[in-house]
Structure formats: C-alpha cells, structure tokens
C-alpha cells in the first residue's frame, strides 16, 4: 500500500488551480518567451514517481526528454505528466512517449481529455459524503496520511474477480482518523454514475445540487457488479466541475489518487461487458 502525505496532496491537487493544456502555445506569454528556460522548472511524473530530468522544446506539441544514467526506461506509449508550477497555478501537460531514441524520448502532448472514459450500460448508484470544513482544515494544518487499501495484486491481476479500493486517512500515530470514519459513514448526495476513468468519475443527480462553498473534499462510494465479478470502492475526490441540465446536476469528480495503469487495465477488463 502506498502511503502519501494527505496534507501535501490537498495542497497540490485541491487548493492549487490546475490548468491542463494541449499545447505549449497556450501558456501565458511571459512563459513562452523562453520555453526551454520555462521547462527547467518543470516537474516530471511517471507512474506517480517524481523525476528530475532535462526537457527541450521540439515544437508546440512535442518535447524531448534526455536519457540520463540510472534513469527509468520508458516504452513507446507510456504516459508522462509534465507540470509547470507558477505560484497558485499549475500548468499540466499529459504526454505520451511517441518515439524512443538512442539519446532520449520524444514526448507528444495529448488533448487534456485524453483519459479514456467508460460509459456503462447499467445503473450504478454513487453515494457522496462531504468532508466537513473543520476536518478539512485539520487535514491541512496537521500531518495526515492517505493510504489506498486494496486487494489488487499485480501477480494475481488476471485471477481477481472482486476488486476492492478504499481510501483511508491515518494520523501521525498510524491510527485511522475517527472523524473521517464518521464522515464517510453518512452521505449527503446520492447520484448515478455517468462514466468513469482512471482519474475520476462523473455523477448525475436527479435534482439541483448546490455544494456548500466551504466543502472542498468528498468521499465517493460505489459498487459495480458485472456478471460474477464486482468492483467496490470508497475514494476521496475533489470537485473539478459542476454542470446543470434542466433539473439534473452533473458532478465531475477527480480522484485524489488516480488508478495506476496496471490497475486500470484490470478494471477495464472487468467492465468490458458493460461498455458494449
């Protein structure tokens, strides 16, 4: 199980404005004056691992990543995240390894909505719990850790028919926070899953929902049954966008911890009968 600082995760994913771009041309003018210099301050993430490597601009949609001794080797098609932090804003580029070269990798910037979304042909209820403001502040002001408890195993991935994923919050004494347990045992919104991706979920409610302004963190609980298989999850999220259509509300939630590629691959395999 990965143990991640919840405090830092909230600061970087929830409190900071994230802007996903599909081209270097969409960066603010001051950052485009010297793009290679701008990329010197970029953060590079591969499978949630932070890398410090040299980047060079090829054109507005392609970036070159130098190979260096001891560097993780990429394969063609691998996803690499490039983040340019600027005060309270982070400019994010989703890229894929387009070409493997002797001295490095050619990365292609993807459309911001690259994540494959699975629209299911069955009704999946989703229960949304608010993480109240006082608890949210406590998470920021003190040291807490986020752990995704799961039965997923890479060695037995093809054998697993019942997948479970539950986000848990531990304090510095490695105890599950009692207020967190209380918060996720009740729910404020019930909706229906519209689609799901490795990075988030869209939920439809059959009424107008107004989220309180001081609520920034949510817990979503759902179970998807497919023939003799199932996926059960209770995941921490933040709200990316809200859309209203007539009397319906669409809540676009981003998982605080996206599913890793090998996990999402197995989820796709299980959900395949519901996507036809």
HSE at residue 113, side-chain half, CA atoms within 13 A, is: 6
Indicate whether 252 and 199 sit together in one domain. yes
| Three-class secondary structure assignment of 109-140 | ECCCCCCCCECCCCCCEEEEEEECHHHHHHHH
Query: Mapping DSSP to helix (H, G, I), strand (E, B) and coil, where does residue 172 land?
Result: coil
Question: Average pLDDT of the chain?
Answer: 89
Q: Which domain holds residue 30?
A: 22-109
What does the alpha-carbon distance between residue 159 and residue 92 come to, in Å, rounded to a whole number?
36
Q: Do 252 and 239 meet the contact criterion of CB atoms below 8 Å apart? A: yes
Indicate whether 161 and 256 sit together in one domain. yes
In a domain, 116, yes or no: no
Q: Do 58 and 106 meet the contact criterion of CB atoms below 8 Å apart? A: yes
3 φ, ψ (degrees, to nearest 5): -110, 115
Indicate whether 75 and 135 sit together in one domain. no
Indicate whether 93 and 136 sit together in one domain. no
Indicate whether 62 and 188 sit together in one domain. no
Indicate whether 168 and 262 sit together in one domain. yes
**pLDDT confidence band for 132 (50 / 70 / 90):** very high
Task: Indicate whether 194 pLDDT > 90.
Answer: yes
Task: Indicate whether 275 pLDDT > 80.
Answer: yes
Lowest-confidence region among 59-73, 120-134, 181-195, 197-211:
59-73
Indicate whether 136 and 180 sit together in one domain. yes
Q: What is the CATH number of the domain that holds 85?
A: 2.30.110
Indicate whether 154 and 80 sit together in one domain. no
In a domain, 70, yes or no: yes
What does the alpha-carbon distance between residue 132 and residue 162 come to, in Å, rounded to a whole number?
31
Q: pLDDT digit string (tens) for 242-269?
A: 889 999 999 999 999 999 888 898 899 8
In a domain, 7, yes or no: no
In a domain, 16, yes or no: no
Q: What is the pTM of this model?
A: 0.72
Q: Is the dihedral of CA 184, 186, 190, 192 positive or negative?
A: positive
Segment 152-179 mean pLDDT: 85
Indicate whether 140 and 93 sit together in one domain. no
Indicate whether 97 and 143 sit together in one domain. no
Task: Indicate whether 32 pLDDT > 70.
Answer: yes
In a domain, 9, yes or no: no
Task: Indicate whether 130 pLDDT > 90.
Answer: yes
Which of the residue ranges 42-51, 137-146, 156-165 has the most confident prediction, judged by mean pLDDT?
Answer: 137-146
Q: pLDDT digit string (tens) for 9-30?
A: 887 778 766 778 889 998 989 9
Q: Do 43 and 50 meet the contact criterion of CB atoms below 8 Å apart? A: yes
Listed residues 109, 135, 166: the one ending a domain: 109
Indicate whether 147 and 50 sit together in one domain. no
In a domain, 119, yes or no: no
In a domain, 5, yes or no: no
Listed residues 82, 109, 136: the one ending a domain: 109
Indicate whether 192 and 254 sit together in one domain. yes
Q: What is the CATH number of the domain that holds 225?
A: 2.40.10
Percent pLDDT > 70 in the chain is: 96
Structural domains of the chain, count? 2
In a domain, 186, yes or no: yes
What H or E segment, with its residue span, contains residue 268? Answer: helix 261-271
Listed residues 85, 109, 133: the one ending a domain: 109
pLDDT at residue number 1: 63
């Amino acid at each position: 199980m990965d143990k991640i600082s919840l405090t830092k995760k909230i600061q970087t994913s929830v409190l900071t404005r994230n802007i996903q771009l599909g081209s270097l041309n969409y960066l603010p003018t001051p950052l485009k004056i010297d793009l290679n210099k701008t990329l010197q301050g970029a953060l590079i993430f591969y499978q949630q691992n932070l890398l410090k490597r040299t980047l060079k601009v090829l054109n507005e949609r392609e970036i070159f990543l130098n190979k260096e001794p001891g560097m993780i080797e990429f394969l063609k098609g691998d996803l690499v995240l490039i983040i340019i932090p600027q005060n309270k804003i982070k400019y994010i580029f989703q890229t894929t390894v387009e070409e493997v070269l002797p001295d490095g990798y050619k990365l292609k910037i993807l459309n911001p909505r690259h994540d494959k979304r699975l629209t299911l042909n069955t009704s999946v209820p989703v229960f949304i719990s608010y993480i109240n403001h006082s608890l949210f502040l406590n998470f920021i002001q003190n040291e807490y850790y986020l752990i995704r408890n799961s039965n997923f195993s890479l060695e037995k991935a093809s054998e697993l028919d019942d997948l479970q994923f539950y986000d848990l919050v531990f304090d510095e004494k490695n105890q599950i926070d009692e207020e967190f347990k209380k918060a996720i045992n009740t729910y404020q919104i019930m909706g229906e899953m519209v689609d799901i991706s490795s990075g988030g979920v869209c939920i439809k409610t059959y009424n107008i929902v107004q989220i309180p302004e001081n609520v920034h963190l949510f817990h979503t609980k759902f179970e998807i049954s497919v023939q003799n298989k199932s996926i059960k999850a209770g995941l921490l999220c933040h709200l990316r966008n809200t859309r209203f259509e007539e009397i319906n509300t669409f809540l676009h939630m981003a998982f605080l911890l996206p599913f890793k590629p090998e996990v999402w691959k197995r989820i796709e395999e299980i959900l395949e009968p519901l996507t036809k």
